[in-house]
Amino acid sequence: MPSGYPFSEIEAKWQSYWKEHNLFQVFPDNSRPKYYCLEMFPYPSGKIHMGHVRNYTIGDVVARFKMMQGYNVLHPMGFDAFGQPAENAAIKHKAHPAEWTYKCIGWMREELKRMGFSYDWEREISTCLPEYYRWNQWIFLKMFERGLAYKKLAAVNWCPSCLTTLANEEVVGGSCWRCGSEVEQKEWEQWFLKITAYEERLLEDLQQLKYWPPQVITMQENWLGKSEGVEIYFLEKETKEIISVFTTRVDTIFGATYIVLAPEHPLIEKWRRRILNIKEVENYLKETKQKTKLERTDLALKKTGVELKGIKAINPVNNEIIPVWIADYVLLEYGTGAIMAVPAHDQRDFLFSKKYNLPIKIVIKSPGERSNRAPEEMTEAYEGDGVQINSGQFDGLPNTIAKEKIAQWMEEKGIGKKAVKWRLRDWLISRQRYWGTPIPIIYCKRCGMVPVPEKELPVLLPEKVRITGKGGSPLAQIKEFVQTKCPVCGEEAQRETDTMATFFDSSWYFLRFCSPRNEREIFDKEEVSYWMPVDQYIGGIEHAVLHLLYARFFTKFLKDLGLLEFEEPFKCLLTQGMVLKNGEVMSKSKGNIVDPDGIIKQYGADTLRLGILFAAPPEAEIDWKDECLEGAWRFLNRVWRLVEENKNSEIGSQKQESNSLLRLKKKTHQTIKKVSEDIEEFKFNTALARIMELVNEIYAQKQETGEAKLELTKAIETVVILLSPFVPHLCEELWQRLGYKESIIKTLWPKYDPKLIEEERINLVIQINGKVRSKIEIPSFLKREEIEELVLKDTRIKKWIEGKEIRNFI
């Protein structure tokens, strides 16, 4: 236990003060500008970890800073409480998932309070409570009404160890994101949300998000994956069946030397009898089934394929007869599930053609080449732009122009049409799990699929359940839950037993925070219109695609329902970096977890907050070292002593301001300016460094003047105010000890005097060998070496000293 200021008393004291005075409870107030500061709410896993500490400390600095600037700040917290991990943990700890979850929430809430975060706890929400999830069901019904929630048989990702289906987003490198088992493909009836209906808006509105990290925008763009090209209709030689391919390089159509179908392509089954090497083909299909999507498309892996012997295609632009292959790098779900291969201009096709000895035909000449090259000379595909050759009437055109011309010509001839393809797929939301929102649908033998009427919501998640973790939906085992009456005809009917993926819950929670206790509607329109959009959202980069895309989708949907007036929920986004230990992710299995609880006990929450903020700028990774704490702890004690020592000395009469006191005053105002700017830009570590410099300056002044001067006290007060968003407990205490009665949060953030910001400049007269040769203006605070350097750089001086040796600088 380090000796120093009594942090544990102080922190407890101020935490209860904040609570008693409801300091962070807010209501809409049109007389003040609003600011909504939100950090991604945690999954109740048991304890907060250093990632939470970092995320929430950043948010807290922003929130407190804005409060002191006079904003009406909404800063809420809650728990993303449904989900598989609770179910898994419950199986492991032999507790009910609800019991387990509430316990975790209790622990985490206490820890968050001990960190001193400025949350309005009156607004706390937990997504596993019926008062919350009934609105999940409500949104679902609204989507169902509009055909945006639908059921279909689909090949789904199946985790054989979690025994559940997974969204594409939950498959990481072919494995389950949760347990790491290899994911299999299965056919299953599943619920989907039609997010693809919003793809165009989801892409376009990314333009509005000026204050999002560019890399998040790019990740979303790639995820949406809009691709403009042409669908080309090749014909099968005998049957004249259409083989439709999708290409973004229609300019290369004259260079197509074979066709490749995805192994699952429906035409293959049709052609079965006519395929001469069907045994070989079937073996290949079997092999494909074992592979994950990633293995199939990994650029680094060798591509394999089999020719469909006996099948030929006709290139519609020149009637060339070309072979038809299957290869697993072509995916059924993308484009048309078939491609034309152009080995001369696509590297993947080039390697494939070399491997299987397929012809190469050059149709784009690169600008640097005079004569046409022979295909045999090529060592790699030419993917760049150039001039069309071997392309009939399009020869001689730049390919960028030919692209448009060929597309038009093909449309006119009816052998192709322009097409837009998206990578985005509809969102699979059903889970064969217990701990989630029941999907409000009833199956009636007579009436079919019937939505639960709105007035019957919520469909409560039954409490009594046996969770084995083995197979199927646990809800299907609960008779009282399943058996119900059809809302339409009143006959015996059955409830849907799947639950919703938890990403559903987190797709709109930021709206619920605006009126969390509303029992009549999903949210109060007016309160939402006051608080939303979120001004600053802060969370991990791992949510760059899924959560943030879904939240944007829900916002647009709710706007279309007429409930919102805006398209985008999060104005500014900050993605904080990871907290590592010895360069590795912290995990139980590695045994390298740094426990915030222990640190709070040993040093206090303020030291932890300061340590984590000072370690690096928010977006950078931190490799956590306990020294971060030592430094923070020493600094806080230095500040503590500064106030304690100053407090006892009388304020002396203010004599004429001495030079050094003026310097302190200037330093104070410069610090106010820099710190304010740095906080706005999330440069917390440099902001803190500035405050530390000011503290040094104050100490130096004290030595010089000996007594407390008004200016000294002012400087000290400024330090306390500027530090308060970072280390609020300590600063509240010091503020009180400085004689103030109200919470420091009620103090307005200081403004600097622009006149005091300018550095004084002095004129320096430069003489060489006793003669004046130049004059320069320099800031007065420069050190000797810095001045010498500037003098030597002066052009007028250069002339006089060139080639000469400087003997002495005075």
List residues binding ligand ANZ (CB under 6 A). 227, 246-249, 252, 330-331, 334-335, 337, 339-340, 342, 345-346, 421
Buried b (16+ CB within 10 A) or exposed e, 386-420: bbbbbbeebeebebeebbeebbebbeeeebbeebe
The H or E element that residue 483 is part of is: strand 483-485
Is residue 489 close enough to count as binding Zn ion by CB under 5 A? yes
- Residue with Cβ nearer Zn ion (289 or 445): 445
C-alpha–C-alpha distance, residues 383 and 388, integer Å: 13
* Burial class of residue 154 in the structure, from the number of CB atoms within 10 Å of its CB (0-12 exposed, 13-18 middle, 19+ buried): middle
Would you state the structure tokens that stand for residue 361, as one six-digit string?
């035909």
SS3 772: strand
Task: State how far the Cα of 255 lies from the Cα of 13, in Å rounded to an integer.
Answer: 78
Task: Answer yes or no whether residue 494 interacts with Zn ion by CB under 5 A.
Answer: no
- Look-up of token digits 């074979």: 258
- Cβ nearer to Zn ion, comparing 447 with 594: 447
Instruction: Provide the minimum distance between the beta carbon of 496 and Zn ion in the complex, in angstroms, as a whole number.
Output: 14
Nearest to 306 by CA among 344, 278, 338, 339: 278
For residue 488, the partner it binds in Zn ion, ligand ANZ, none, with Cβ less than 5 to 8 A by kind, is Zn ion
Q: Which residues pair with 419 in a beta bridge?
A: 229
Q: Are 696 and 709 in contact (CB under 8 A)?
A: no
- 248 contact choice in Zn ion, ligand ANZ, none (CB below 5 to 8 Å, kind-dependent): ligand ANZ
By beta-carbon proximity to ligand ANZ, the closer residue of 156 and 344 is 344
Smaller CB separation from Zn ion, 86 or 441:
441
The verdict on 476 binding Zn ion (CB under 5 A) reads no
With CB under 5 to 8 Å by kind, the binding choice for 446 among ligand ANZ, Zn ion, none is: Zn ion
**Cβ 261 to ligand ANZ, closest distance in Å?**
9
Q: Which of 104, 209, 486, 715 binds Zn ion (CB under 5 A)?
A: 486
Minimum gap (Å) between residue 443 Cβ and Zn ion: 9
342 vs 558, which CB is nearer to ligand ANZ? 342
**Among ligand ANZ, Zn ion, none, what does residue 334 contact (CB within 5–8 Å per kind)?**
ligand ANZ
485 binds Zn ion (CB under 5 A): no
Which tokens sit at 288? 């494909």
CB of 349 to ligand ANZ, least distance (A): 7
Q: Are the beta carbons of 225 and 423 closer than 8 angstroms?
A: yes
Cβ contacts of 354 within 8 Å, gap of 6 or more:
343
Footprint on residues 259-318 left by Zn ion (CB under 5 A) = none
Work out the angle at residue 467's Cα, subtended by the Cα atoms of residues 500 and 83, and round it to the nearest 5 degrees: 30
Residue closer to Zn ion by CB (options 462, 487) is 487
The CB-of-254 to Zn ion minimum distance in angstroms stands at: 60
- The least distance separating Zn ion from the CB of residue 452, rounded to whole angstroms, comes to 13
Q: Which is nearer to Zn ion, 21 or 446 (CB)?
A: 446
Q: How far apart are the C-alpha atoms of 671 and 691, rounded to whole Å?
A: 7
Scan for tokens 């073996």, then name that residue: 283
Asked whether the bond before 533 is cis by omega within 30 degrees of 0, the reply is: yes
- Is 86 or 327 the residue whose CB approaches ligand ANZ more closely? 327
Q: Report what 346 binds from ligand ANZ, Zn ion, none; CB cut-off 5-8 Å by kind.
A: ligand ANZ
CB of 297 to ligand ANZ, least distance (A): 7
Helix, strand, coil tally for the chain in percent (to 5): 45, 20, 40
Q: Which does 475 bind (CB under 5 to 8 A by kind): ligand ANZ, Zn ion, none?
A: none
From the list Zn ion, ligand ANZ, none, pick the one residue 552 interacts with, judged by a Cβ distance below 5 to 8 Å according to partner type.
none
Residue 561, helix vs strand vs coil:
coil
Name the segment binding Zn ion (CB under 5 A); options: 136-144, 205-213, 275-283, 444-452. 444-452
* β-bridge mates for residue 246, sequence order: 231
Give me 358's structure tokens: 């397929």
Q: Which stretch binds Zn ion (CB under 5 A): 294-302, 364-372, 480-488, 631-639?
A: 480-488
Residue 444 lies near Zn ion (rule: CB under 5 A): yes
> Is residue 572 part of the contact set for Zn ion (CB under 5 A)?
no
Identify whether the C-beta of residue 476 lies closer than 8 Å to the C-beta of residue 467: no
Nearer to Zn ion, 324 or 444 (CB): 444
**Binder to Zn ion among 286, 289, 446, 799 (CB under 5 A)?**
446
Residues contributing to the site for Zn ion (CB under 5 A): 444, 446-447, 486, 488-489
